[in-house]
Structure 1
Amino acid sequence: MSTTDPVHPPLSSGYSELVREIRGQGLLHPRPRYYLAVGAIDLAALIAVVAGLVLLRDSWWTLALAPVLAVVSTQIAFLSHDTAHSQVCRGRTRTVLCLVQGNLLSGLSYGWWVDKHNAHHAHPNDLESDPDVAVGALVFDAGQAGARTGLAAWMTRHQAGLFFPMLTFEAWNLHVSSVRAVLRPGLRHRRTEALLLLGYAVLYVALLGTTMTWPQALVFLVIHQGLVGVYLGCSFAPSHKGMPTLTPAEDADPLLRQVLSSRNILGGRFVDVALGGLNLQIEHHLFPSMPRPNLRRAQPIVERHCRAHGIPYAESTLLGSYGLALRHLHRVGAPLRAHVEDR
C-alpha cells in the first residue's frame, strides 16, 4: 500500500457499461476444456518428477529435481486458485476439485484460503479489511510501522532488503496457517480438509523417505519449500504493493476500487504461464471468475474503457514492479531508521 497522494478520476467509472461489454463477448463463461489440458500437463509433470526421484533413488542428483518440483507445485497452486474462482466449473464439482488441488496436492486449506482471498478481493490494499496487507513479518504502511519495537522494528527498518529472503518461508507459513485453520472450528469441510492435509503430508514424507537418504530428504525439503515460497511471492507481490491509497469515494466504486489498487505486468504468453495469469491483475480483480486465457482478450477492452473515462491504468515490467514494491517497503521503514539515527 502506498503513502503517495491518491488519484482522483471521474466519479462515474462506467462499471456497468464495461460489464455489459465483457459479458457480451462471452468472456465470463468457464473454460473446462482449457483447464483440463492445464491439469493434465501439471499432473504429467508431477508424475515425471516422482518417476525421476525413483530412478535417482539415494543419489544427491535428486536435489536437481527440487526446483522442478517447486515449479510444478506452484503451477498446481495457480490451477487451484483459478478453480476456486469458478473459472473451471461451478457447484459441487468445483469444491471437490479445490479440495484435491489445494489440500491434497498443495497442502493448503481450501476453506481457509478462500475466506482470506475473498477478503483481499473485496477491498484490496485496505489496511482494515485486506489480510494481505495486515501487519505481520512485513509492514506496508508507515503508520503501522511506528508501533514496532525490538526485533520487529529492526525487521521493518530493513524489510526491503529482507523481502526476497523472507519469501523462502512463505510456503511454510501457508502450511502452518492451513493446519491451524483445520484445528479450529468453523471450516465447512473441516474433517475432509484435515484428512486431505494429512494425506499430503504422508505422501510427501513417504516420497522423500523412500527415494532419498534422510540428509538428502532434508535438503530437498528446504530447497523445494523455499523455492515454492519465492515463486508464489514473486507472482503475487508485483500486483498491488506500492499502489496508491484510495479515498472513500474511490473505494465505494467497484471499478475504481479494483483498477486503482492493481497493476498489470507487461509481457506475452510466457509471462501469462509463468505467473498463472496474475500478471493481468487489473482484469482478474475486475472479473475474478474470468478464465485465465480470457484475461488477455479482455485486457484491451478494459484499458480502452479506463482511458476513455480518465482512469489511470497502471502497467510495469516485471523487474520494474519489484523495484516499485521494494522502494515502497524501504519508504515505510524510513521513520524507524530515522529514529535510530537520531539517538
Structure 2
Amino acid sequence: MKFEEKPEGNESLVDENQLYLGGRHQANGKPGTSGKAKLSARQEANAKCNVPRKSLNKYTWQEIQRHNKETDQWLVINRRVYDVTGWVDRHPGGRQVLNHYAGQDATDVFRAMHPDPDFVRLYLKPLLIGELAPGEPNQERNKNSQLVEDFQELRRTLETMNMFSANLGFFFLHLAQILILEALAWVIVWHFGSGWLITIFISFLLTVAQAQGLYLQHDMGHLCIFKKSKWNYLMQKFVMGHLKGLSAKWWNSQHFPHHVKTNIYPKDPDIDVGPLFVIGDLQPVKYGKKKIKYVDYEKQHLYFCTVGAPLFVPVYFTLKAILLMYHGRDWEEIAWVSSFYIRYFITFGPFYGIFGTMVLIYSVKFLESPWIAYVTQMSHIPMKMSKEENQDWFSTQVLATCNVEQSLFNDWFTGHLNLQIEHHLFPTMPRHNYHKVAPLVKSLCAKHGLQYVNKPMLKAFGDILRALKKSGTLWKEAYCTHPEI
C-alpha cells in the first residue's frame, strides 16, 4: 500500500467528505437497523479513535469469524477489531487483500505488507469497532501461538538491525544497468547496421534489460524507497510502463493477493491457471472428476516447455494488462505503456521500419518469457498448494515457497528471487538484505520443525516439470476412474 500525503492530527484518513463503514454497530456488534451509515470522516475518527480503551466493545474469535463475507468484513490487528467493509474499494492494495483476511487475524500480514505501518494505522482509526475480549488469545486457537510470537520477535530483531532500510545506490545501479543496455543496443545498430547477427545480439541485450526491468519494477511495487512515496509511485510507472510496456496497476492487482495468500486456492491468482494447466494436488482431481479436458493435462509438463513458457510474457502478461487498462479506462496506464512502444519506434524504427520494430519488440518478449517463467515458477509450483487453512503467516510462507542456492550469478539472474522464503516473509525488505536474514529464518524453521527448502537452480527448474507431470497424472487418474457427472 502506498499513500502520498500524511494526514495531520485527527483529519480524515479516507476523504474529507464521507466514509461508509457499512452500518452503525450496536453494543452486541451486530449492524444497526439504520442501514448504510454515512458519517464524516472527521466525526468517525473523533468518535472512535478518542474513545477510552475501556469503552471499546469486546468480541470473541467466534463472533469475529462470522464476519467473513464480502458484504461484512471484520479483521483483527494487534487485538483491535476493525470493520473494513466500507474501506475495501478504497484499499490501495486492492479489495481482494482485505477480502482474503475477513474474519481472521491480520496482524502479521498487515505488518509484512506495509513499509510504514505507523502511518497506515492512522487509516485504521475510523474503522475501529472494538477489541478482543479478555481471555481471548492473540490469534485464532488453531494457530501455533509460540511460533507466532517467535516470528514477531524475529521481525523486531531485524528492524533493530535496519534490515528494512533500502540502499538507494543498489537500486540506482540496477536502473543504470537497464538504461546502459538499451543505449548500447541502439549504438550498436546505429554503428553496425541492422544485419541478422547484429539484430540477434541486440535482442539479447534488450532481453537482459527487460528481465532486469521486471525485477526492478517488482522492487518498486513493494518498497517505499524514496522519502515521499509519490516518487516510488512514479518510478514504478516509469519502469513497468515506459521500460517494460506493461501495466503497473495490473501487476499490483495480481501480485499483492499472491503474497497475502500464497499457494492458497483459489485466493492466489498465480495458481489459478486453468484451463491451460492444472497444478497442485486438488485442482487436477477436481478437473478430472468433472471430466474437464481443455487440453491433455497428462502432457502439460511438455507444453509448458514448448508453448507455456515462451508465451508467458508476450501473450499472458500482455493480454491481461491490456484487458485491465481497457475495462478500467485507465488512461494514465495506457499513456505509460504507449510511451514504451513510442520509444521503441523512435529508437529502432529508422533501422527496421514499423513492422520490423514490432518483430523486434516481440522477439525480445519471446526471449525474455522462458527466463521469467522459470524464475517466477520454480519457487511455488513444486511447493505445497492447499485450500484456506488459516495457518500462521510464517508457516504459510515457508511451506509455499523455496529458495535456490545463492551465488553472484543466481542473484543477478533471478533478481534475488532465488531467496523467495525471505522475500515472502518480509515483502518490504530490500532484496540486497535477504541473504543476511536467511540464517535467522532457517534457525526459526529448525526450532519449529518446518522444512527450509534450498536447492540448486537446475534442480529447481526441473522440479517445475516434475510437479506439472505429477499433477497431470493425478488429473488422468481422476478422469479415468470417476463416472461422468
For the criterion TM > 0.5, the same-fold answer is yes
Give the residue type in structure 2 aligned to 1:238. Answer: M
Contact 1:135–1:144 (8 Å) recurs in 2: no
Specify the SS of the correspondent of 1:259: helix
Deviation at 1:78, TM superposition (A): 0.4
2-structure distance, mates of 1:43, 1:215: 24
Find the counterpart in structure 2 of residue 30 from structure 1. 166
Deviation at 1:55, TM superposition (A): 2.3
Give the residue type in structure 2 aligned to 1:19. Answer: R
In structure 2, do the counterparts of structure 1 residues 199 and 247 end up closer, same or farther at CA, with 3 Å as the change threshold? closer
2-structure distance, mates of 1:245, 1:138: 14
Find the counterpart in structure 1 of residue 210 from structure 2. 73
Give the residue type in structure 1 aligned to 2:278. Answer: V
Specify the SS of the correspondent of 2:382: coil
- Pairing of 1:213-224 with structure 2 (within 5 A): 217=357, 220-224=360-364
Find the counterpart in structure 2 of residue 290 from structure 1. 429
1-structure distance, mates of 2:475, 2:459: 26
Specify the SS of the correspondent of 1:333: helix
- Pairing of 1:172-183 with structure 2 (within 5 A): 172=314, 173-183=316-326
2-structure distance, mates of 1:278, 1:330: 24
Deviations 1:90-134 (A, max 9, x none): 511110000000011101101111111000000011111000000
Deviation at 1:335, TM superposition (A): 4.2
- Pairing of 1:227-306 with structure 2 (within 5 A): 227-245=367-385, 251-306=390-445
Structure with greater strand percent: 2
2-structure distance, mates of 1:218, 1:92: 32
1:127 to 265, 271, 277: 265
Deviations 1:42-80 (A, max 9, x none): 211221112222223331221222122111111011011
1-structure distance, mates of 2:366, 2:401: 26
1-structure distance, mates of 2:295, 2:203: 34
Find the counterpart in structure 2 of residue 56 from structure 1. 192
Contact 1:59–1:212 (8 Å) recurs in 2: no
Give the residue type in structure 2 aligned to 1:184. Answer: H
Give the residue type in structure 1 aligned to 2:321. Answer: S
Give the residue type in structure 2 aligned to 1:109. Answer: S
Total equivalences in the alignment: 330
Give the residue type in structure 2 aligned to 1:142. Answer: P
Unaligned runs of 5+ in 1: 1-7
Give the residue type in structure 1 aligned to 2:252. Answer: V
Contact 1:87–1:292 (8 Å) recurs in 2: no
2-structure distance, mates of 1:300, 1:9: 24
Deviation at 1:37, TM superposition (A): 1.7
Find the counterpart in structure 2 of residue 3 from structure 1. none
Higher relative contact order (CA 8 A, sep 6+): 1
Contact 2:143–2:392 (8 Å) recurs in 1: no
Deviations 1:222-243 (A, max 9, x none): 4311111111111101111121
Find the counterpart in structure 1 of residue 455 from structure 2. 316
Deviations 1:14-54 (A, max 9, x none): 22111112112110112222211221122112211122222
Identity of aligned residues (%): 23
2-structure distance, mates of 1:306, 1:97: 36
Deviation at 1:9, TM superposition (A): 10
Give the residue type in structure 2 aligned to 1:98. Answer: Q
2-structure distance, mates of 1:68, 1:300: 35
Contact 1:145–1:153 (8 Å) recurs in 2: no
Specify the SS of the correspondent of 2:322: helix
Give the residue type in structure 2 aligned to 1:237. Answer: Q
Larger Rg: 2
Contact 2:165–2:429 (8 Å) recurs in 1: yes
Find the counterpart in structure 1 of residue 466 from structure 2. 327
Contact 2:285–2:475 (8 Å) recurs in 1: no
2-structure distance, mates of 1:225, 1:55: 24
Give the residue type in structure 1 aligned to 2:208. Answer: V
2-structure distance, mates of 1:123, 1:222: 32
2-structure distance, mates of 1:87, 1:290: 10
Contact 1:66–1:220 (8 Å) recurs in 2: yes
Q: Is residue 2:287 matched to residue 1:145?
A: yes
Structure with greater helix percent: 1
2-structure distance, mates of 1:232, 1:15: 31
Q: Is residue 2:337 matched to residue 1:201?
A: no
2-structure distance, mates of 1:191, 1:215: 25
Q: Let me know the Cα RMSD of the aligned residues.
A: 2.5
2-structure distance, mates of 1:221, 1:36: 25
TM-score normalized with structure 1 length: 0.88
Give the residue type in structure 1 aligned to 2:158. Answer: I
In structure 2, do the counterparts of structure 1 residues 128 and 12 end up closer, same or farther at CA, with 3 Å as the change threshold? farther
Find the counterpart in structure 2 of residue 159 from structure 1. 300
Unaligned runs of 5+ in 2: 1-141
2-structure distance, mates of 1:203, 1:264: 37
Deviation at 1:308, TM superposition (A): 1.8
1:44 to 180, 200, 205: 180
2-structure distance, mates of 1:243, 1:16: 24
Deviation at 1:262, TM superposition (A): 0.5
2-structure distance, mates of 1:219, 1:277: 30
TM-score normalized with structure 2 length: 0.63
